[in-house]
Chain A
Amino acid sequence: MTKENHFHYSVERAWCPGCGDYSILSSVENALANLKKKPHEVLMVSGIGQAAKLPHYIKANGFDGLHGRALPAAFGAKVANHKLMVLVTSGDGDIYGEGGNHFIHAIRRNIDITLIVHNNQIYGLTKGQASPTSDLGMVTKTQPDGVFTIPFNPLEMAVTLDAAFVARSFSKDMAFTTKLIEEGIRTPGFSLIDVLQPCVSFNHVNTYKWYSDRVYQLDNSYDPTDKSKAYKKSSEWGDKIPIGVIFKNSRKTYLDNFIKHKDLPLIKRKTNIKEVDSLINELY
């Protein structure tokens, strides 16, 4: 299926066999192809972690920067060239831990980018320490008595901050994830798609079976535009975990304050030296 996809890039991947990252990558490729985008029109931004290697495994532009700093870099790139479609793909440690502050402020700015978090509730690249989303009680080498810090709920926070689009998916369900990514991209403003993803090497609690037993798709009776209901839905976790669009909210995007889509991107603008003269003249 992915063979004909022009975003597909055949290259060796440094992911474990069975890792959820593979299906998230395929979902991203499919969503972009379905949206009829061309590789040169897309920029994939990431931080550091297993998930953050994704920009190296897809045919598109990439920015693989620092741990935790994908969102500010994505913001800068989108502002520099608003015609680029900007996606961020990184992990729970990267976005919610190291980059937690940027997560808050990227949502507040409502910059028109789509954030796909590969949420496996564990640190994979550093070999199995708790992440901000690890469940209470999970025992690791650095949490030998089990996690006793309450887990971070990214969806609750995103709803609270009035994110434009808040969704959750499960990596195994590729078609569903693809659909959510497409919808996230199409929604103007900041879109979060938190994708639950098993880590077959280090997370022996939240396995394929664990997720499969719990996730259920939201149906048409759920209204994602109602903020208080969305908040309640976003806090649902345990025996039942909802997947689908949790919250949708229409508000002005960051760039709506400065730029219309037809405007010249920043990178094409030139400074008029005559106008610099006017700045100098103001000093007399």
Chain B
Amino acid sequence: MPFDFNITIAGSAGQGLQTIAGILTKVLARNGYHLFTSQDYMSRIRGGHNFTNIRVSDKPVYAPTVSSQLLVALDQESVEVHYQSLTGPAIIVHDSDTIKVIKARNIQVVAVPLAKLSNESGSPVYINSVAAGVLFSLLRLDLKDLVGFLETRFEEKSPEQIKGNINAATKGFTYTSENYQNIKTTIGTVRKKNRMLINGAESIAIGMIAGGVRFISAYPMSPSTGIFIYITGKAKKFGIISEQAEDEIAACNMALGAGAAGARSAVTTSGGGLSLMCEGISLAGAAEIPVVIANMQRPGPATGSPTRTAQEDLDLVLNIGHGEFPRFVFAPGTAEEAFYTSIHAMNLAEKYQVPVFILGDQHLVDSSITLDKLNPNKVKYKSYMVKSGNLKKPYLRYKNTKSGVSPLAYYGQDKVTFIVDSHVHTEDGHISEDMVVAEKLTEKRFRKINDMKKEFYGPQYYGLQNAKTVLVSWGSTYGAVRETIDYLLEKKKSVAMIHYNKIWPFPVEESIRLLKSRKDIRVVENNYQAQFNRLLKRETRIDTGEPILRYDGRPFDVRFIVKKFEKRQK
């Protein structure tokens, strides 16, 4: 039986929803379920209202859903906030001693003395394990899997704590099994298969490591910090140095110093920090220093909403840095795509000696999906520096070549010296105000575009061939648009989608080929000004229909897109 089941775990910050979600998703993934989990949390450390959605299915899922079939309410507010979005026959799990739930038709209430069972196991802090036990019972999962997980996951805790957690989980499981054996759930069984669970931050970080990152610098900023933390955690093992800079200006210039010296370098940031990197990025353009900039978007302007999602920085990354210089901009749609894109990004920055942007957002980095595997050999690390001993002398750092790409060496290689420079400069990097030098230098840099256009893959098509209506996604809107296409195809609509990961250099010819003579083209994006829609129209000169926009800080879901889409169709 196909199924698509959504679990909401809600409460205030500090209550441990992440722990419950972490245990449950790991075990579900190991059992072969397909998952999509998304985080909705407030920018605070304690209190507020937060929730995690765990969508469970027998087939791959790519986006969050709004309605839920199971709510774990860790406080009273959670009941009030999520009650309306439950679809029957739904289940509410709550603490029978502290939280009140109004009984209703279609709602099955599972009242468990969570805090009491935790205390009976030795401490009030085991409450998350009690809740996990309850969920395992309701979802007909094996208690043994939960116990096994607690043993390995909590191995850094004391034997007493591990025992306490296992006791708590067992009590939650047993209590529920004894008192609520008639509860109906629509989660079915799947063929057992060990799947990995990965979020966008992990996939970008591991991709950068596979792509040979040697130096990373950043100033912490939500929602990009996860990438920086991940790489920092693995730095020693991989011979990487990671530095928390005093500000984003320093972070960017550190990466450029390291890059100029021959180390593959990256920075991670979000909108406000990217604004501070503006001049540094211009330097990367002028001095032709390889650097990868992972910008994870959140709503702006200024501080905006730190823990929410948006796609408002597209115009910024396309234009950031004064003056003119070539760049790559990629916007991966899923954690899987983000992994391979990040390896590409590290390679391409060095190959073309240009800044490369990975444009993600809170929705991408904080959402987890299940995957069968990732193959770090699919996109191979490749060095584009001149091999030692092969340097032609005299070495010219900015040699004016046919391709526009000059041979890349590190300082002191084969005993040469050279200067990396921010001015208009000669082929040997020295300041010049000669008009011929200026003209030739600009043309040399922009000649790179010819080959850059051929790199990476173009827009991807999904859905009915020759469909009348085409939805366009870029970046993290991929998942919701893809599921919308599936939904509309089931309703026999003539629809398809085109997804853009490579955004710059813009794939003009491929776009025209895919988009010409469509009846309706609708770009779906998380901003107000329809930034990608404007770009698409400008580059292809093809008219598009009214874009489907969202700018409330929340990610798209199928219901939202379909509603907007159908409203227009009438």
With known contacts A77-B261, A280-B373, A84–B412 Cβ distance under 8 A: yes
Interface: A279 (CB within 8 A): yes
Assess whether B381 is in contact with A271, with CB atoms less than 8 Å apart: yes
Assess whether B279 is in contact with A76, with CB atoms less than 8 Å apart: no
Assess whether A65 is in contact with B239, with CB atoms less than 8 Å apart: no
- B202: which A residues are within 8 A, CB to CB? 283
Assess whether B412 is in contact with A40, with CB atoms less than 8 Å apart: yes
Assess whether B283 is in contact with A280, with CB atoms less than 8 Å apart: no
Assess whether B261 is in contact with A40, with CB atoms less than 8 Å apart: no
Assess whether B415 is in contact with A38, with CB atoms less than 8 Å apart: yes
A275 to B212, CA, bound (A): 12
Assess whether B419 is in contact with A79, with CB atoms less than 8 Å apart: no
Assess whether B257 is in contact with A81, with CB atoms less than 8 Å apart: no
Within 8 A of B (CB), among A228-268: 258, 264, 266-267
Assess whether A77 is in contact with B260, with CB atoms less than 8 Å apart: yes
Within 8 A of A (CB), among B242-273: 243, 245-247, 249-263, 265
A272 to B249, CA, bound (A): 31
Assess whether B419 is in contact with A267, with CB atoms less than 8 Å apart: no
Minimum CB–CB distance from B350 to chain A (whole Å) comes to 12
Assess whether B431 is in contact with A266, with CB atoms less than 8 Å apart: no
Interface: A225 (CB within 8 A): no
| Chain B count of residues within 8 A CB distance of the other chain | 65
Interface size class of A (residues with CB under 8 A): 35 or more
Interface: B452 (CB within 8 A): no
Assess whether B234 is in contact with A279, with CB atoms less than 8 Å apart: yes
- B210: which A residues are within 8 A, CB to CB? 271, 273, 276
Q: Which of B198, B239, B253 has the most CB of A within 10 A?
A: B253
Assess whether B246 is in contact with A105, with CB atoms less than 8 Å apart: yes
Assess whether B419 is in contact with A40, with CB atoms less than 8 Å apart: no
Assess whether B260 is in contact with A269, with CB atoms less than 8 Å apart: no
With known contacts A65-B283, A276-B209, A73–B257 Cβ distance under 8 A: yes
Minimum CB–CB distance from A59 to chain B (whole Å) comes to 6
Assess whether B429 is in contact with A73, with CB atoms less than 8 Å apart: no
Assess whether B381 is in contact with A273, with CB atoms less than 8 Å apart: yes
Interface: A226 (CB within 8 A): no
Assess whether B422 is in contact with A53, with CB atoms less than 8 Å apart: no
Assess whether B411 is in contact with A81, with CB atoms less than 8 Å apart: yes
Interface: B511 (CB within 8 A): no
With known contacts A266-B214, A284-B30, A76–B254 Cβ distance under 8 A: yes
A22 to B320, CA, bound (A): 37
Instruction: Output the nearest chain A residue to B254 by Cβ-Cβ distance.
Output: A76
Interface: A179 (CB within 8 A): no
Interface: B421 (CB within 8 A): yes
Assess whether A62 is in contact with B206, with CB atoms less than 8 Å apart: no
Assess whether B239 is in contact with A276, with CB atoms less than 8 Å apart: no
Interface: B417 (CB within 8 A): yes
Assess whether B260 is in contact with A267, with CB atoms less than 8 Å apart: no
Interface: A207 (CB within 8 A): no
The stretch among B94-102, B189-197, B302-310, B486-494 that forms the contact with chain A is B189-197
Minimum CB–CB distance from B182 to chain A (whole Å) comes to 35
Interface: A64 (CB within 8 A): yes
Interface: A63 (CB within 8 A): yes
Interface: B467 (CB within 8 A): no
**Chain B window 212-245, contacts with chain A (Cβ cutoff 8 Å), 1 for yes, 0 for no:** 1011010000000000000000100111110101
- B280: which A residues are within 8 A, CB to CB? 66, 69
Assess whether B418 is in contact with A62, with CB atoms less than 8 Å apart: yes
Within 8 A of B (CB), among A40-75: 40-41, 43, 45, 48, 53, 55-56, 59-66, 69, 71-75
A-B contact count (CB 8 A): 186
Minimum CB–CB distance from B273 to chain A (whole Å) comes to 14
A40 to B260, CA, bound (A): 15
A66 to B254, CA, bound (A): 12
- A71: which B residues are within 8 A, CB to CB? 250
Q: Which of B243, B257, B377, B417 has the most CB of A within 10 A?
A: B257
Minimum CB–CB distance from A140 to chain B (whole Å) comes to 26
Assess whether B417 is in contact with A76, with CB atoms less than 8 Å apart: no
Assess whether B263 is in contact with A69, with CB atoms less than 8 Å apart: no
Assess whether B431 is in contact with A53, with CB atoms less than 8 Å apart: yes
Assess whether A81 is in contact with B376, with CB atoms less than 8 Å apart: no
Minimum CB–CB distance from B365 to chain A (whole Å) comes to 15
Interface: A39 (CB within 8 A): yes
Assess whether B255 is in contact with A76, with CB atoms less than 8 Å apart: yes
- B251: which A residues are within 8 A, CB to CB? 72
Assess whether A77 is in contact with B257, with CB atoms less than 8 Å apart: yes
- B377: which A residues are within 8 A, CB to CB? 273
- A48: which B residues are within 8 A, CB to CB? 422
A105 to B244, CA, bound (A): 11
Assess whether B261 is in contact with A84, with CB atoms less than 8 Å apart: yes
Interface: B374 (CB within 8 A): yes
Assess whether B431 is in contact with A56, with CB atoms less than 8 Å apart: yes
Choose from B258, B261, B421 the contact partner of A64 (Cβ within 8 Å): B421
Interface: A209 (CB within 8 A): no
Assess whether B258 is in contact with A76, with CB atoms less than 8 Å apart: yes
- A45: which B residues are within 8 A, CB to CB? 257
Q: List 20 A-B contacts (CB under 8 A).
A: A39-B417, A53-B431, A59-B417, A64-B420, A64-B421, A65-B420, A66-B422, A69-B253, A72-B251, A75-B254, A80-B259, A84-B411, A101-B247, A101-B250, A266-B215, A266-B239, A271-B381, A280-B374, A284-B29, A284-B194
Q: A66-B283, A80-B215 are in contact. List 13 more A-B contacts (CB 8 A).
A: A39-B417, A61-B411, A62-B419, A63-B257, A66-B280, A72-B257, A76-B253, A76-B259, A79-B254, A104-B246, A271-B210, A271-B381, A277-B376
